[in-house]
Structure 1
């Protein structure tokens, strides 16, 4: 006999010790309301921004009878007793609380009420106190689940004895649609409002001011304002063309008092290089005016680095708490906490890059990390899932077996959550979009794979056994091993086909050993796909023909390349005469992008008298080889190598300035770079591999490694205005079919039809 959970919506009681801040709970409330649950908030009396935001969502707000101050005496006991009466009267299914004082109050007042208790920890500060760690070792056991806002905080709680299954890592995140890079016009207006002149170097710090705490960092402000101000004195003395903008008032009256002390100590009323703005509802104009963000905290979670990164502003962060998790070191600086000397050095380096015009190149990397790992929408959905599970509810848990190491890539995996399902990535990554992590033994290369195989297979079998729904992303050994395990354990599985192992191996990019394994890899892939109950392909027909699903299986063609509406050009282009520009975008790490073939084709065109130049965007270990080849071919003045370009606006500008996009790849899946070029209405030429034939017409395709044929197609397209403009219109129309909303809807439909790993037993 089976038991079915009631479909009654949950009543979630949110408890916080403030009604002013903590705006990061708003997306969580939205996610719970979207799932049909009821949310009631218990906040201190009085007006505040959080109370207004909750009222706007029609969330009931109840005044807390307890002030969350734990002073010894009868008044504290009486307040806790009244809080218990309030909570009991609300009849909660789940008590959901943030901040340590709120957690302590709810644990004591909400004991034995029969409600699940979900504690979400916004930062690790309280765990820096030895006394609190001793207390928390025992009190944290009262939480049904402790959601940790960072991996750093999770490690702290697990060191106190909380199991990994009870301490999932879910960041608070940031709204990456609300916080996004500004255009040149907006930036000019924002800088003008601050009185910034010309190319002045603008540094910003966004943080509330907290008074020094008694138990941790005695005498020191937690956000490190004094560290930055001490460093700024020295830095500005050498660079008078720099400005510092501080945004944020006191967290409370004690914080406001500490702010006044800092203003007096550093004589900021007399320092025209420093502007200190009080707390504002919208910090985006300040980020829009900034060249660099600084978070010099002594203790923090992910802090302001997330908002800055989402706005495309690189950061300098201290190594305190979880700040290092928020940034990509390729785009940002990490310095020792409470070290003005290290901060001055980082400011000097950032200033030098600003003056050289290179600092803006870090913007795309900074934003990309935040969008992939810290977008608040999928994070809020993950919090809602944990709340449901804590109450004994929940939708399907989809276990995705994948080779990727980017376990926190929210954007790539958020589509699995669209139907309200829960997600578990089974991978070599250390973190997860939701749920507890399921890391597998790591390996690098075939030799390491063989050595790791027994432990890897055992771990995969364990995950197959506990999975409710199994999805294998192929190709890759993890998915293949999981397919074997499913067959042996009589579990059903589905497959996402995201590439072709045969093309990659037979192209020679992995050497002779790779070529010798190409046919075996293709046979393994076909076997895995044939055994799947449902198959999704990133192509419309190419991969379907090579790796067909069994008859009667549910299939879909859904590209993993998505184009936002704002990236599409408004209309087709008009042809212009020589000189002609050809552009190629792709990694130089391996040979399979065929940029060497492109250089030889360009040499043929130049030899025929055609005025043509080529721009190669990308970097990698074969970059120098390509530069040397260009020189050998006599193209030193016609081949321009940009190296890696992280600024999306610059890539768009390069595409818009070109006449033709070239993708002479030896192996491909569904090429993102080609689709993005087509979205700019750029005519293109490519090879007959992977998904390229689905994007380009027969007249724009050539065989791999055929520079003569490539030169012929390029010549025809560049010198025929009518055909060139026809291709511009055609490519733009094709790119429009990769609109992200359309593809997400298609994937959602397919995913809803994916069956459970084990058939449900019928009720007795």
Structure 2
């Protein structure tokens, strides 16, 4: 076995410890993410065969037999086998011990202290925290975890109640492979229902292993709630004989198999043709393809089967136990009290009525959209890998606190300008911030908070300013302790060149797409000519970064990938301040209607000219609509002239720039629809702020907008005809309008400041010093 010192480059040895060979398949995406970053993964599992062992070996993971069986008894044998496990872990010499499930966690906490490794516990479910005895045990022993990754917000709250700080309890769902679990085609669905022998029936599915009742928690009851569903089914099926229940999942172990047999006998499954109970299967997708509705009636659970069902477009009925309500779209699914067969039967009846009316399938897109946005396993696995890498250096000298971070940005400031909200988050952990930016005041003095650069406007202005701009950027780089460059932009690019020459490390925030901005014609025909070159230069800057923050989940990552092995994080620079989020969704009101758009008029990449042409189409078709355009800049008068030439000047209110948040809130609340017809975008703050006020929205399929809006609310850039059609449809369909209002408000909640600050602290900890151990005084 090679040792860490033998490795030519810095990489981690991560030892995965699990108490099972056959379960925990949700750990494999995490292993894939770690392997993709060049780290070594070794697994310690119980002896014997199993699907998990096979999957890990197929990935090239070394698997070591555990001498401990993960059963805690007061015996000499338990002590002896724990000591042997300690010796195994010591010989493996890990950088990080990574473990799931309580028995694995206890074993590693007791034996892992023999190593100097960081300890990362990931919690798949909150069940054991319902035991008073185990809560007391976790209050004491969880302190031995470097990080406790919580698989849900519910679990995080439980651990924080036990005294674990938020910084040590990040929330990362296990998620689901949304590429593998996808809605079936009509032909696949017909075939699946035919195989199930339920072509004309209302098919309800429950996918869950059968766990034997626990001694101290829900005594005498299986936690997955099979008995609750079977009681509810007897009531429901009596009134709806054309329905069929499909149960998929056998016993988790021998005790679970015995409980399975007991349930089957108690509810006379063998005599009930309306119920089919299958054993565990490797692939549940064909069964979901046949189903109309999924049920998760657990007494305690994490996100459960609702993720796989939702990813396949199957709406769910879930109990209000644990984290299950987090997994579903409340407007497209049903949440019922746990252990309440009557409430469950009533929800089944509601779903049946929608099925009969042909409306149940209309929920499919909403449930699928939620899972793709919040629970995709590949994105979740990348965050787990981030946490593992961070824990390996926890705590280290590069941790945030009292550093001076120089941030090179394209923004323009006046003398004494305070850092806007998107930048002040760099100060939250005790660091100081210096903005390296253009200033509108030529005599602005240099200080710690602002290092002024010569001002310029447009490509021609940039060329004229270069002789003064380059030396100013070079001086700022040479004096910087920690360097962060925003991209795209000329300032960040020049700073990156200087960093390469001076051999300084730098990090990058990718906040937009250079290619989209230029290819859209924002800077005229010459912009289109240089769009590809600008994209390559941006990619070059990103490729040289030690750490990269993307404001999108996947769009910018695809075009400007970081160098493999470098730290990356997907993190919006938009944070909803307290009071911005509306308390409850808005209700549709009849016209006249108001459409609002917010964005700069410095260039035309926000597409307000396209909105004006769309408005003209609507007015011509006698649609009673008015537009409010918020923004200013040198192309403002040109937009006013466009409105006048189209004969709609009386239908457009040009507000100019709005900096008062209260006034902006009033404007958004008085509108009926938000429009973002941009030709280029990163992740647009204005759109998220509109969604926070429960506004339905329409946007273009550029930048990060598709990560925020549903497909039916997207149009191509510069297509004013499509924009007019979508605006007209949304404003005149009360049901869709209110559905989008609810959905947008729910999505905006994920941008609450408190939810994002934890992840931003991870970003801060990965920004390296420009020079090792360099401190500027």
> TM-score category by the smaller chain?
0.5 to 0.7
Residue 349 of structure 1 deviates from its aligned partner by: 1.0
For residue 539 of structure 1, what is the aligned residue in structure 2? 517
Structure 2 unaligned residues grouped into runs of 5+: 1-6, 401-417, 438-443, 454-485, 494-510, 540-549, 559-592, 598-610, 626-672, 682-697, 703-714, 729-765
Q: TM-score, normalised by structure 2?
A: 0.59
- Matched residue of 2:114: which SS? coil
2:48 and 2:225 mapped to 1: Cα distance?
30
How many residue pairs are counted as aligned between the two chains? 513
Cα distance in 2 for residues equivalent to 1:542 and 1:96: 47
Q: Which residue number corresponds to residue 620 of structure 2?
A: 601
CA distance in 1, matches of 2:193, 2:679: 43
Could you tell me how far 1:282 is from its partner in structure 2? 0.3
Distance 2:419 2:225 in 1: 48
Query: What CA distance in whole angstroms lies between the structure 2 residues aligned with 1:469 and 1:327?
Result: 43
The question of whether the paired residues in 2 share the 8 Å contact of 1:146 and 1:167 is answered with yes
In the aligned structure 1, how far is the partner of 2:447 from the partner of 2:282?
A: 56
Instruction: Spell out, residue by residue over 1:241-284, the C-alpha distance to the aligned partner (whole angstroms, 9 max, x if none).
Output: 11110000000000000000000000010111111110000000
The aligned counterpart of 1:296 is 297
- Structure 2 contact 15–42 (Cα < 8 Å) conserved: yes
Residue aligning to 2:346: 345
TM-score, normalising length: structure 1: 0.60
- 1:152-205 CA distances to partner (integer Å, 9 max, x unpaired)? 11111111111111111111111000000000110011101110132x211100
CA contact (8 A) 2:21 2:50 kept: yes
**Aligned equivalents of 1:269, 1:236: Cα separation in 2:** 16
Is the CA contact (8 Å cut-off) linking 2:678 and 2:699 kept in structure 1?
no
The Cα offsets for residues 307-328 of structure 1, whole Å up to 9 and x where unpaired, read as: 0010011111111111111111
Aligned equivalents of 1:60, 1:89: Cα separation in 2: 14
| Equivalent position of 1:516 in the other structure | none
Look up the match of 2:652: none
Alignment correspondent of 2:122: 120
5 Å matches for 1:150-549?
Answer: 150-198=152-200, 200-392=201-393, 460=425, 462-463=427-428, 466=431, 489-490=449-450, 533=492, 536-537=512-513, 538-540=516-518, 544-545=522-523
Query: For the structure 1 residues 461 and 104, does the alpha-carbon distance in structure 2 shift closer, same or farther, using more than 3 Å as the test?
Result: closer
Question: 2:621 & 2:207 partners in 1: Cα distance?
Answer: 50
Query: Residue 205 of structure 1 aligns to a residue in which SS?
Result: strand
**Which residue in 2 is equivalent to 1:97?**
99
Q: What residue is the counterpart of 1:571 in the other structure?
A: none
Q: CA deviation at 1:531?
A: 9.9
Unaligned runs of at least 5 residues, structure 1: 400-452, 473-483, 494-526, 566-587, 605-615, 617-662, 677-689, 708-754
**What's the CA shift string for 1:673-701, capped at 9, x where partnerless?**
6659xxxxxxxxxxxxx9944x68xxx89
SS at match of 2:332: coil
Judging changes above 3 Å, is the alpha-carbon distance between structure 1 residues 14 and 692 closer, same or farther for their aligned structure 2 residues? closer
Alpha-carbon displacement from aligned partner over 1:709-758 (angstroms, at most 9, x marks no partner):
xxxxxxxxxxxxxxxxxxxxxxxxxxxxxxxxxxxxxxxxxxxxxx9797
The RMSD of aligned alpha carbons is: 4.6
User: Residues 517-566 of structure 1, C-alpha deviation per residue, up to 9 Å, x if partnerless?
Assistant: xxxxxxxxxx99999636734533568549x99xx999869998979x9x
Relative distance call for 1:195 and 1:488 in structure 2 (3 A) is farther
Partner of 2:143: 141
Using the TM superposition, give the Cα deviation of residue 394 of structure 1 relative to its aligned residue in structure 2, in angstroms. Answer: 12
Deviation at 1:603, TM superposition (A): 6.0
| CA distance 1:239–1:596, change in 2 (3 Å) | farther
Aligned-partner Cα distance in 1 for 2:183–2:320: 25
Aligned residues of 1:116 and 1:391 also touching (Cα < 8 A): yes
- 2:66 maps to which residue? 64
* Cα distance in structure 2, aligned partners of 1:701 and 1:247: 45
Measure the CA separation in 2 of the matches of 1:227 and 1:492. 67
